[in-house]
Amino acid sequence: MTAESTRAELLDWDRRHHWHAFTQMAEYEPLVIARAEGCRLVDVDGREYLDGASSMWCNVHGHHHPRIDAAIRTQLDRVAHCTSLGMGCDTTVRLAKRLADLAPDNLEHVFFSSDGSSAVEVALKAAFQYWRQRENPRPEKTEFLALAEAYHGDTIGSASVGGIARFQGIFAPLLFDVVRAPLPDPRRLPAGTSAEQAARHFLDELEPILAAHHQELAAMVIEPQVQCAAGMVMHPPGYLRGVRELTRKYDVLLIADEIAVGMGRTGTMFACEGEDVVPDSLCLAKGFTGGYLPMSATVTRGQIYRAFLGRWSDGRTLYHGHTYGGNPLAAAAALATLEVFDEEQTLEKLPAKIAQLGEHLCRLATHPHVCQPRQRGLIVALELTPDKTTEAPYPADERRAWHVARETLAHGVWLRPLGDTLYVMPPLAITADELDQLMTTLSSAVETVTCKY
Ligand SMILES: Cc1ncc(COP(=O)(O)O)c(C=O)c1O
């Protein structure tokens, strides 16, 4: 078998046997990655691509990071897996302690799962059970409040609190009912409401919903600061803080889903910290292991945790668990990821990168077919329009953003737009030169696609 035939076979097998997530397989054009280094992915043909979407929002310190690689190898020599049901591994214990020390105030009990959806399921079930088991039980609090266009995962519970019709609409008969609040998208403010009034406007929409339903609400779940899957919808500053105040006022727990925005993405380790907010449960995944291995965490306050304590016969246990929850290899990767944050001063280096990305975005925003530029931390997003005065989108079937991504791919940058929304969300480790390359490639591709097609 020649190297060439192996490559051809791989592409063929990929198309025929690998059913890819969120991918229309009838149109799939294989892209098979053979290795990766830093912020670059290398395909089976040896072509390099800058990882402009952090391998779906999870890579933090770059691929093939020597420190994280070594931590996994060292752990492999000790134990690859042991259960967290009734026992645990020393590495996982150390990770739980480290996370409890790092998480804001009182968030000190860490439940490990293997993916983001499960971390949200755990938070939902724990909130539901909490109200039944706490000292003054309120068993009528069984419902959840979530935002329009929310995305919290693809399992039935996490999809129920999700609100993106394109993803979850077909499953509607399987999902439980949720109380829904309007999308706090500053681009959809009514005429006459200024950007400074945006948070107040959306909080004023939220409060009557809480007032009407709080007796039945167990928790509100929110993606702090940025609803990524909704199309990088960036909440107005102050909204999260106001949500925390309102949920406290109405005695509704707050679950912060930081699966996409945690781990430094918005400029602070946790997005909640940016608004000085302490949720009742914090969900982490994706970048939690640096983007290396599947592991998620639901970090919960003592007040909730204590409602689960009692004798075995009381039946107060959290009856939820996953075989690989707390996996030691993943725990080693997560611990090393946190250590690299300190060793490489990742957060301290972010402001310069955020500013550089912002400058590129400002330049791109002057393009006649670019509108709605927006940024939060190391995420920038924009829309394409045939008419900048109306900001109307191109016809959806033209798939302009998808064409832009194909164009950048041909020039060594991998992006994955969300419908018509183009965004850049690179690993936090990206260098200044790589940021320049990423954004200039994106600009040229926008120019090509808006002029050529
Ligand atoms: C905010 C948010 N929550 C939950 C999830 C689901 O995580 P996972 O794909 O690991 O199940 C995602 C995934 O993109 C997400 O962005």
283 CA to centre of ligand 1 in angstroms: 10
> Which atom of ligand 1 lies closest to the CA of 117?
11
192 CA to centre of ligand 1 in angstroms: 35
Q: In Å, what is the CA distance from 423 to each residue of 318, 329, 384?
A: 39, 32, 11
- The pLDDT of 342-369, averaged and rounded, is 98
177's CB contacts (< 8 A; 6+ apart) are 143, 160
d(CA 37, CA 44): 14
d(CA 118, CA 438): 33
Is residue 402 scored above 90 in pLDDT?
yes
Residue with tokens 């994955």: 416
pLDDT tens for 130-168 read 999 999 999 999 999 999 999 999 999 999 999 999 888
152 CA to centre of ligand 1 in angstroms: 6
Ligand 1 mutation pick, 158, 259, 266, 284, max ligand atoms within 8 A of CB: 259
Confidence of residue 228 (pLDDT cuts 50, 70, 90): very high
pLDDT confidence of residue 3: 60
Ligand 1: residue whose CA is nearest its atom 9: 116
Ligand 1: residue whose CA is nearest its atom 4: 152
pLDDT tens for 298-339 read 999 999 999 999 999 999 999 999 999 999 999 999 999 999
> Which atom of ligand 1 lies closest to the CA of 285?
10
Where helices occur in 169-327 by DSSP H, the ranges are: 198-213, 239-249, 302-306
Confidence of residue 1 (pLDDT cuts 50, 70, 90): very low
Confidence of residue 232 (pLDDT cuts 50, 70, 90): very high
Where helices occur in 61-197 by DSSP H, the ranges are: 66-76, 90-102, 116-133, 156-161, 165-168
354 CA to centre of ligand 1 in angstroms: 23
Ligand 1 mutation pick, 263, 286, 379, 418, max ligand atoms within 8 A of CB: 286
Beta-sheet pairing, 179-181 with 143-147: parallel
d(CA 409, CA 47): 10
386 CA to centre of ligand 1 in angstroms: 32
429 CA to centre of ligand 1 in angstroms: 21
Ligand 1 mutation pick, 152, 265, 284, max ligand atoms within 8 A of CB: 152
Ligand 1 mutation pick, 120, 147, 151, 255, max ligand atoms within 8 A of CB: 151
The CB density around residue 286, as the number of other CB atoms within 10 Å, is 27
55 CA to centre of ligand 1 in angstroms: 13
- Where does ligand 1 bind, in terms of residues with CB under 6 Å? 115-117, 120, 151-153, 223, 228-229, 257, 259-260, 285
CB-count exposure of residue 191 (10 Å: 0-12, 13-18, 19+): exposed
Ligand 1: residue whose CA is nearest its atom 13: 153
Ligand 1: residue whose CA is nearest its atom 8: 116
pLDDT tens for 85-130 read 999 999 999 999 999 999 998 899 999 999 999 999 999 999 999 9
Q: In Å, what is the CA distance from 146 to each residue of 20, 172, 176, 218, 243?
A: 28, 15, 12, 11, 11
Instruction: Record the pTM.
Output: 0.97
pLDDT tens for 412-441 read 999 999 999 999 999 999 999 999 999 999
pLDDT confidence of residue 53: 98
CB-count exposure of residue 448 (10 Å: 0-12, 13-18, 19+): middle
139 CA to centre of ligand 1 in angstroms: 29
427 CA to centre of ligand 1 in angstroms: 17
pLDDT confidence of residue 451: 86
Ligand 1: residue whose CA is nearest its atom 7: 116
Ligand 1: residue whose CA is nearest its atom 10: 116
